[in-house]
Amino acid sequence: MSVREQVFGEPGYSTDICLSAVELSFFRQAIYEQWLTRIANQYPGFVDSFIKEGIQNYHYFSDQVNHAELWQKRWRSLPQKTVDVIKEFRFIKDLQKEFGSFSISSVVNENVVTEGEEEIYWRLVRPGVASDVGPLHADKWFHNLAGEYGMFPPGTTTVKIWLAINTEPNRNGLIVVPNSHTRNWKYNAVEKEGVVRPCIAEDVDALDTILVPTESGRLIIFNERLLHGGSVNHGKETRISAEITMVLQ
């Protein structure tokens, strides 16, 4: 089956596209530079330690910083000039062949949409830290709740791209519930710190979840209604991933 057929049919996702070595290297360098710049601005005294260990070993020194405050989403969104380079990559061309023309969704922080800036952001997941990953959800739930803020007009179809930047297959990555995009799942709208977020209202333990094995450079392309969430990191290194939301034309 084609990537598109897998995403909109069974199982609701595809891993058939991957980054080239050059593309993966570019992502890693762009993320590293943004990561190090943020640390240097907030914790200049710790820069040498982080440089010595590298971003993949960030967890060795993360207890010396305020991780939650340091890595709010706004500080993990790649600058537009970097996004512009990524848009010319081969994997984007491959996605266009599968899905036709698409745009990248606008930057959104705490339900505030920044038009004219396209959103590609990254995540850090430290080994053994459950709070670094979110619960099972469908992206469509966020779109429904954020509709009043103008995230997406009615009738918009999106597809999510999850990119493995530094991963250890079968030890960390993304959890999915295959074919879950074919059902309407219950969820509640929960307000936390002034932001309304969806929270699944199902017996999560009864769901048939799988950890998708992804080596660094592999993409998981999935339906906006697919249940998914981050896996607790059982690897030795900090997991790094990136995300892109395609808005189909």
pLDDT, tens only, 210-229 = 999 999 999 999 999 999 99
Confidence of residue 32 (pLDDT cuts 50, 70, 90): very high
- Above 60 in pLDDT, residue 130? yes
Average pLDDT over residues 7-22: 99
Average pLDDT over residues 232-242: 99
Q: Which CATH number fits domain 3-248: 1.10.10, 2.60.40, 2.60.120, 3.30.70?
A: 2.60.120
Phi and psi at residue 124, to the nearest 5°: -115, 130
pLDDT, tens only, 77-127 = 999 999 999 999 999 999 999 999 999 999 988 778 888 999 999 999 999
pLDDT, tens only, 135-155 = 999 999 999 887 655 578 888
- Give the residue carrying structure tokens 């890693």: 28
DSSP string, 92-141: HHHHHHHH-SEEEPEEEETTEEEEEEE-EEEEEE-BT-GGGSPPSB-HHH
Structure confidence at residue 147 (pLDDT): 61
Structure confidence at residue 35 (pLDDT): 99
Contacts 24+ apart (CB under 8 A), 32-36: 34/75, 34/76, 34/78, 34/79, 34/122, 35/124
Nearest to 165 by CA among 58, 48, 41: 58
Domain residue ranges of the chain, discontinuous segments joined by +? 3-248
Nearest to 143 by CA among 247, 68, 39: 247
- Pairing type for strands 219-223 and 13-14 reads antiparallel
Q: How far is CA 88 from the centre of its chain?
A: 20
Cβ burial, residue 186 (10 Å; 0-12/13-18/19+):
exposed
Distance separating alpha carbons of residues 73 and 69, to the nearest angstrom = 9
Structure confidence at residue 148 (pLDDT): 56
Q: What is the pTM of this model?
A: 0.96
